[in-house]
Amino acid sequence: MTARIGVVVFPGTNCEHDVVSAINRAVAVAVAVAGAGAATGDGATETVRAEAGLVWHGERSLAGYDAVVLPGGFAHGDYLRPGAIARFSPIMDAVSAFAAAGGPVIGICNGFQVLTEAGLLPGALQKNRDLRFLCTTVGVTVCSTRSVLTCEAELGSVLRIPINHFEGNYTCDDETRARLRDEGRIVFRYTDNPNGSVDDIAGVSNAQGNVVGLMPHPERASDLLLGSADGMPLLRSLVVSAGRRASLPA
């Protein structure tokens, strides 16, 4: 089975080709397809292969895609605030509708900022505590496997994944933070908080787990040649999630 994954390109996005390349190398394990026995895992299984393609931000439709990624970069120059202008790009109405229909939506770094500005994820990302641009590899703990980006990852595992941001300091009010904790929506935590994020949060999901945003770049940890392949369980999870969606009856 082939799952199609759309990678959105805004003016100023710069990680789209890395994401496409990493996704296309993340051949997934067998997935229970929809139909008899799917819920119990006794049904038919298929191996999912992803086919990622670029989607210009001026498009208005995501028809034919089984998952969407908003990659990193500096959408619309990050002017005003990161993500503030990108959230009004024409494609974003389709992204919101796709998310509301249960489609897997991932925001990486700048994409995470876009998703919070769009209200698809709670909270906001403000300037790093020490006012420094951070470009380093950090430890990230998988805190929930109930998300489209971690369903194939091991709960509690620590992944070595690069970060590359100035505004990655996750901020939300106490009520939101309590809700995220109680509902198991803190998907990733830093092992050694680099930027001042509340509760060491590196990534969160929506209530359904189908929209996930994270500051670390899994696509930059997709091959041992890059220093780490720890991002692959996340990318495989995305491919599996897209495969599940692709197997749903139209």
Partner 1 sequence: MKFEILVEVRLRPGIADPQGATIERALPALGFTGVTDVRVGKAIRFTTEAADVDDARRRAAEMTERLLSNPVIEEADVDVRARP
Residue ranges binding partner 1 (CB under 8 A): 80-81, 84-85, 88, 116-117, 122-124, 126-131, 169, 171-172, 196
245 secondary structure, DSSP code: H
Active site residues: 109, 217, 219
Q: How far is the CB of 171 from partner 1 (least distance, A)?
A: 6
Q: Count of residues for the chain?
A: 250
> Counting Cβ atoms within 10 Å, is residue 235 exposed (0-12), middle (13-18) or buried (19+)?
buried
The structure tokens 């999630």 sit at 241
Comparison of 84 and 158: residue with beta carbon closer to partner 1:
84
Q: How far is the CB of 21 from partner 1 (least distance, A)?
A: 33
Integer CA distances (angstroms), 42 to 28, 36, 39, 247, in order: 18, 8, 8, 15
Q: How far is the CB of 90 from partner 1 (least distance, A)?
A: 16
Beta-carbon contacts of 81 under 8 Å, excluding residues fewer than 6 positions away, are 113, 117, 167
Comparison of 33 and 120: residue with beta carbon closer to partner 1:
120
Comparison of 141 and 171: residue with beta carbon closer to partner 1:
171
Q: How far is the CB of 170 from partner 1 (least distance, A)?
A: 11
Integer CA distances (angstroms), 220 to 105, 206, 211, in order: 19, 24, 20
Comparison of 56 and 88: residue with beta carbon closer to partner 1:
88
Query: Do 77 and 12 contact (CB within 8 A), yes or no?
Result: yes
